[in-house]
Chains A and B, each alone.
Chain A
Amino acid sequence: MSDHQQGQDAIFRGTSGGDAALKDRKSIIGTPNAALPAFVLGEELADLADHDPRIVVLTADLANANRTNDFRKRHPERFFNVGIAEKNMITVAAGMASCGNIPYAATFASFCAILGAEQLKTDCAYPGMKVRLIGHHSGMSMGFYGTSHHALEDLAMTRTIADLTVICATDANHLRAILRASLNHPGAMYIRLGRGRDPQVYADVPRDFAIGKAATLREGKTISLICCGSVVRATLDAAQLLAERGIEARVIDMHTLKPLDEAAIRKAAQETGAILTIEEHNITGGLGSAAAEVLVSEGRIPFQRHGIPDEFVPVGPPAALYAQYKLDAPGIAEKVLTLLGGTRTTN
């Protein structure tokens, strides 16, 4: 079995318990497994629950895959696995929130933000319940499992729900920061995770993290690359490739899609020569659309949205899909060159 296949199996078979060998070795992407989002969700929630009796955790038959089993081991009386019943999971969480608990409910993004969109709207956001819905394996990170298991629409759907905070975790340390900040944040939240094996961007838990405040990870004047979640690492790597060709790109981790850090987008429009948004999502309705809604009042600026075109993607290993859709570092760099090349000829 290749390294690549082993990495796949580790996610989908679940890695909780008795998988020390896997935990200790380097993963295919160069980040130690212990520092991957898939390995910290349950542990971080359990740490927070040690000090906060309000926290409860729910899942829908994915306690191994999302490591909420790590929470169950330490707080079994506050853990509820409702079986394969995602709508029930979300609404049960809302009922618990109405009684003063803070529920974190986790399942595949496709089956919470899309299947459960009405429950998220009606039972969580509308009554202002402090439910934290965690959609993991978002985008096309489920690769060859196909469209039923992909979530390339979840940001568009959640972004239109009033009073809902929508936020993307970039890596494990970022996820810890989000979970810590979520405790005292009002109202309902949708927290989007990648495949759980997203490579490291933040060396430590970012101290200056704030919900709704974008993080500038690299400075540059030629172009701003505004990205979120699973593609932030690849965007930083693309910026490095571009720097070798003399193009200085600003890289902005726009982790919170709602409320959107509009000031950071305006600043990028004013201080840099072009803007490219990058996201693992249908380009309709996600981060690119959110940026466009701000930029429409900023006058003319070269701007493009990069993501999945409006189509269902074919099956394939995730890495192959990222390459095909130019969401890896060389692909993103190529998109930048095309945008800048285009602007040079048209300006």
Chain B
Amino acid sequence: MTGAVGERGHNVSRAFLADRAMFVRLARICGAGHYSSTFSAAELFASLYYAHLKLDPRDPKWPDRDRFVLSKGHAAIGLYPILAHLGYFPPELLDNFTRLGSAFGDHPNMKHIPGIDFSSGSLGHGLSIAVGMALSARVQKRDYRVYCMLGDGELAEGQIWEAAMSAGHYKLQGLIAIVDRNQLCIDGRTEDVMAIEPVEERFRSFGWEAQRIDGHDFDSILAALGRLKPAGTGRPQVIIADTIKGRGVRRMELSLQWHVANLAGDDYADAEAEIRAGLQPYREKAHV
């Protein structure tokens, strides 16, 4: 953890610690949660929202804002605390997370939540949505960029590659995909269930620029975001972020048991304390 300072004056890593604690709190309200898919993307969310995206929380529908599509919609509990933190809605609304009538479900709903640019949940759709948003920027002569976060297991969905092909064809340089390469899908390692490597080469062969980074290191993430080209006619850009599913709570790291699960009792307090202490160096486990 490097304490990188973002453009909006937030201390990214400090804001982010509070967010991580919120992820587990939300999952506890719900009684179940996608902890590990959220932890793998946590530094990516914080870097984008606290230091990179062109946004105005006072005007969530600002036509020239950057767009963010959470194609892996099951990590929405990673986004809600950040949006609340930035002022899109009062944080206390999250106290009712997933309860009957709440705006906030396990997957995000753009009709009810300010700051959500598109509803998601069905894997494989988000990159096509992002292509549409980037085409609209071109038609409307706007210079916003469109960011789309994909899961690595999600890359097995065929529509992702329809969208990747069209992004390359239309030369949507303003389209940025970020792959949360957290290594696991529900039933095992992606490379055992349905291999996605060599993922950079696959995107490059579809006409994309690709960079690969450590997705838990703020300096690496912010540097990669800083290298992105502006919207225009050119190659779409993908960042493959190597991450660890469940990162930050040791029992969840690369564990298949925690894709959807619930922390209870002392385990919850242990996990929260672990999060408060900050990220410790990752240690390989004996087995997965």
Question: A: which residues have CB within 8 A of B?
Answer: 56, 77-78, 80, 82-83, 85, 87-88, 91-101, 103, 118-119, 122-123, 126-128
Contacts and interface: CB of A to CB of B under 8 A. Distances in A.
Most buried by A among B119, B125, B128, B140: B128
Nearest to B121: A122
A166 B67 CA distance: 30
Given A85-B162, A92-B166, A77 B139 contact: yes
Interface string B90-120: 0000000000000000000111000001110
B162 A87 contact: yes
B57 to A, nearest CB: 18
Given A95-B136, A127-B118, A128-B111, 17 more contacts: A83-B165, A85-B162, A88-B159, A91-B159, A92-B166, A94-B118, A94-B132, A95-B131, A95-B132, A95-B135, A96-B136, A98-B136, A99-B133, A101-B140, A123-B128, A127-B109, A127-B111
Given A83-B166, A88-B163, A127-B111, A95 B118 contact: yes
A122 B125 contact: yes
A262 B71 CA distance: 39
A119 B119 CA distance: 12
Given A82-B166, A98-B117, A118-B122, A91 B63 contact: no
A287 to B, nearest CB: 29
Choose among A87, A92, A127, A128 the residue with the greatest number of B CB atoms under 10 Å from its CB: A92
Contacts of A100: 63, 136, 140
A172 to B, nearest CB: 28
B129 interface: yes
Nearest to B125: A91
Contact of A91 (B67, B132, B136): B132
B136 A87 contact: no
Contacts of A101: 136, 139-140
A77 B136 CA distance: 11
Contacts of B129: 91-92, 94-95, 98, 123
A96 B135 contact: yes
B227 to A, nearest CB: 25
B139 A78 contact: yes
Contacts of A83: 165-166, 169
B283 to A, nearest CB: 40
A97 B158 CA distance: 23
Given A56-B139, A87-B128, A98 B162 contact: no
A93 B125 contact: no
A56 to B, nearest CB: 6
Contacts of A92: 128-129, 131-132, 135, 163, 166
Looking at chain B's contact residues, the main secondary structure is helix
B135 to A, nearest CB: 6
A99 B137 contact: yes
B130 interface: yes
Interface of B: 63, 67, 69, 109-111, 117-119, 121-122, 125, 128-137, 139-140, 158-159, 162-163, 165-166, 169-170
Contact of A93 (B109, B121, B132, B134): B132
Contacts of B67: 99
- Residue from the set A78, A82, A94, A95 with the largest chain B CB neighbour count within 10 Å: A95
The 3 closest A-B pairs by CB, nearest first: A95-B132, A91-B128, A99-B136
Contacts of A56: 135-136, 139
A88 B166 contact: yes
A128 to B, nearest CB: 6
Given A83-B166, A95-B133, A99-B133, A127 B122 contact: no
26 contacts: A56-B139, A77-B139, A80-B135, A88-B128, A88-B159, A88-B162, A88-B166, A91-B132, A92-B132, A92-B135, A95-B129, A95-B130, A95-B133, A95-B135, A96-B136, A98-B118, A98-B133, A99-B67, A99-B136, A99-B140, A101-B139, A123-B119, A123-B128, A127-B111, A127-B118, A128-B111
A83 B110 CA distance: 29
Contacts of A80: 135, 170
Contacts of A95: 69, 118, 128-136
A97 B117 CA distance: 12
A313 B67 CA distance: 46
A20 B95 CA distance: 66
